[in-house]
A and B are shown apart, each in its own frame.
Chain A
Amino acid sequence: MNSVASARRAFAVSMGKAVRDGSRRLGKGNGSAVPGAVAMVIDPGMLAGLASEIPQGAVLVTGSNGKGTTCRLLAGAMRAAGLHPILNREGSNQLSGLATTLVASSGRFGHLPADDRAIGLFEVDEGSFPGIVSQIGKPRALVFTNVFRDQLDRYLEPAYLTSMLERAMRELPADTTLVLNADDPRVAYLAPDMENPRLYFGIQDTGLAREGTDPSSDFPRCPRCGSELAYRCVFYAHLGHWSCHHCGLARPEPQVRLTKVDLLGSASSRVQAATPAAEILVEVPLPGLYNAYNAVAALAAATACQLPDRAFLAIERVTPSSLRMERIEVTGHSVFLTLAKNANGYTEVLRAVLGDGQPKRIMLGLNDCEGKQPDTSWIWDVDFESVSGLIPSPVITGNRAYDLTVRLKYAGWLGATKATTLTTEPDPVRAFQLALARTPSGEPLWLVSTSIVLQQIRRWLRQQGFVKEVWREQDQLLAGSVRL
């Protein structure tokens, strides 16, 4: 890099830092996207340049659901292996958010601190993947969690998304390991002609398979020949043991697999995992089958990074990400903030909480994104039917609370025979206070919702002194690994 370019880099980074500090001081949130965007305007090569400075390279994690938690689990394993992961903040998973992360991690002169244990661990929005993959020149591994029908007003159709991702994957160097979910046919068969090393992960324990299939699942056609796929078992949505009777394509045998999964109530699960090198038994302190998938994805990525076996056990110490069953103590109740942003996510969260068949206090929320993503049609694909009656006196909230109420009415929640009193209160804070007042003392309350409702409640809880700011907590986390 010549001196002009290097001065430009330093200027870009310090401007980014100034914007970030300024926005925090003004209380305008954590400034997660703007600083990076500003720095990239000054020096468009900044992200690629800084990323190439990371001594241990980078791991990219993308897919519809589970990216953030997979990163968190993997970060724990990396730290246990003595590496110092540079993580982007949850939700800051588009180009500018990633740039902000590297601005924050760099020194004033526009370089990352000299640390030969540093490794990039980046959650990448699936829609932003093509733009990001071209910047992160030589990722060590690309982890692909799953492709669900998600926010069709944002990502259009899954077939389009996979074709776009596949095109972008072709820019990867030949030694990037592709860590792919074997149980998701769309993911397993991504770019089959690429000769990169492939590491598949999946669940072997067929004891967990659902009876029949989810009415809301969209089963992809065979990714090779387009025929109908046959499933020997389905874990959830379209994830399972699949094969095509027409062309013979079948789920690849995963090298990293869960041989046994015991779901332990609404809090955790115990999994037995096998990697090419080891067999381990770990307790994943996050509930539900979807988190078991996140755990096996993280194990596979750890295997791809050749982390030592002992690092795998760090999974047991993971804490939930912000809004992912994040626990906050409020006046004697444990309140769990639980993000559910698409049909499969909502269904699986409800199953994780209510899977033991015990009634629980849950507030349900739904919002659209202020005109940007007005389509909330997907609630009709959520399986509310099977948990009908398990939520006493539910409170429904968010700017689309009435749409959700209609959905629950047609799911039979308001039927004359059920003594359920359902309350619709679009204002999230008022609804939360109501739900909290209705929850018997000492009992937990789950808030299951799309993001804006949860953010509003979280902000209110912060103002009330129940919770610290997200970026402070995360900075503390980062401070443990990379000096800022």
Chain B
Amino acid sequence: MKITLGCLYPDIMSTYGDRGNVATLQRRCEWRGIAVELRELRLGDRAEPDELDLIVIGSGGESQQRLIAGDLHEVKGPGIREAVRQGAAALAVGGGFELFGRFSRSGAGSELPGAGLFDAWTIGHRAILSDQYDSLTEARADRALGDLVVRWHDRLLVGFENHNGGTYLGPTAAPLGQVVSGVGNNGDGSEGVQLGNAVGTHLRGPCLPRNPALADFLISAALRRRHGDVDLPPLADDVELAAREVAMRRARMASRTRRGRVMLRRPARPGSPAGVQAGGRR
């Protein structure tokens, strides 16, 4: 058995340990005797929908997003949308997730086009690269920054979020899950987007190593395209689960100290009620 893994902009959208997601998918396939063909898709390369079983895009900040947005929208977007329509799996994380939506508008007013896969959009508070913050402290205070725990079906996903502004879902988008602790999409209690086998999330950086169930969901979905339903042999995930435990414990500690603090202060969605509160369901 084999899957073809398309890794988008590995040279640009891999700002903070995003290699961990690719490594996790590769290893968990390798340990089960599944071959992985890795395709690195850079600026200018098209996404071939018939060939890609699994598409991964990592996180990136404002500068990286500016570099790829046009290419993602025009060159790769149609192929990505078609591949997911045909059942391919996808994982979009952090800044990559934001650009898998319709658009991302920065606080400075500029708008970046997205791949248009998800019926979602992101609106930033202020742009750090346009000198809209006077200090690092001020810029940090305006971000959703910390541990994020999300209920996904009957499981919990754990990780870390570090984003400015909010992501809003249109009528045809379904959230990936519900926030247990942290901010998530925009403070309304939802986190991420799931469309078929495509997953978008603010759990940025290496979110798969500590969430092996999500990794295996993506691998199963990718295999299903060519090999039908395959029972993945279970792996010994004891250290992964131990790391999850630590992350969840620390997220609980952090959420106690953060409770009540308003993380998102400006109404970002046109017409939305003012003063969106942080935290979601607790």
Q: Which residues of A contact B (CB under 8 A)?
A: 127, 130-131, 149, 152-157, 159-160, 163-164, 167, 215-216, 218-219, 221, 226, 343, 368, 371, 374-375, 377-381, 399-400, 402-403, 405-407, 409-411, 414, 424
Contacts and interface: CB of A to CB of B under 8 A. Distances in A.
B239 A409 contact: yes
Contacts of B20: 377, 380, 407, 410
A152 B16 contact: yes
B251 to A, nearest CB: 8
Q: Which of A215, A403, A405 has most B Cβ within 10 Å?
A: A403
B131 interface: yes
B250 A368 contact: yes
Contacts of B4: none
7 contacts: A160-B129, A368-B250, A374-B250, A377-B206, A403-B210, A406-B240, A410-B27
Interface string B133-162: 001100110010111000000000000101
A399 B19 CA distance: 22
A149 B15 contact: yes
A411 B24 CA distance: 10
Range of interface residues on B (Cβ < 8 Å)? 35 or more
A208 to B, nearest CB: 24
A157 B243 contact: no
Contacts of B80: none
A17 to B, nearest CB: 28
B253 interface: yes
Contacts, number: 119
Given A153-B145, A368-B250, A406-B243, A380 B61 contact: no
Nearest to B159: A377
B1 interface: no
Q: Which of A152, A154, A400 has most B Cβ within 10 Å?
A: A152
Interface in B18-76: 18-20, 23-24, 27, 61-64, 67
Interface in B180-218: 204-206, 209-210
Nearest to B206: A380
A160 B205 contact: no
Contact of A218 (B15, B136, B254): B15
Chain B binding surface SS class:
helix
B169 interface: no
A424 B239 contact: yes
Q: Which of B67, B205, B239, B246 has most A Cβ within 10 Å?
A: B239
A400 B246 contact: yes
A427 to B, nearest CB: 13
A160 B135 CA distance: 11
Interface in B240-279: 240, 242-243, 245-247, 250, 253-254, 257
B61 A159 contact: yes
Given A374-B146, A403-B246, A380 B129 contact: no
B18 A380 contact: yes
Given A157-B63, A377-B206, A406-B240, 19 more contacts: A149-B15, A157-B62, A159-B61, A159-B62, A160-B129, A368-B250, A371-B253, A371-B257, A374-B147, A377-B17, A377-B204, A378-B17, A380-B20, A380-B23, A381-B17, A381-B19, A400-B243, A402-B245, A405-B243
A410 B162 CA distance: 24
A375 B243 contact: no
Contacts of B128: 156-157, 160
Contacts of A375: 16, 160, 162, 205
B242 A402 contact: yes
A381 B15 CA distance: 9
Given A380-B23, A402-B243, A409-B239, A160 B61 contact: yes
A130 B63 CA distance: 21
B178 to A, nearest CB: 21
Nearest to A221: B67
Nearest to B164: A156
B83 to A, nearest CB: 26
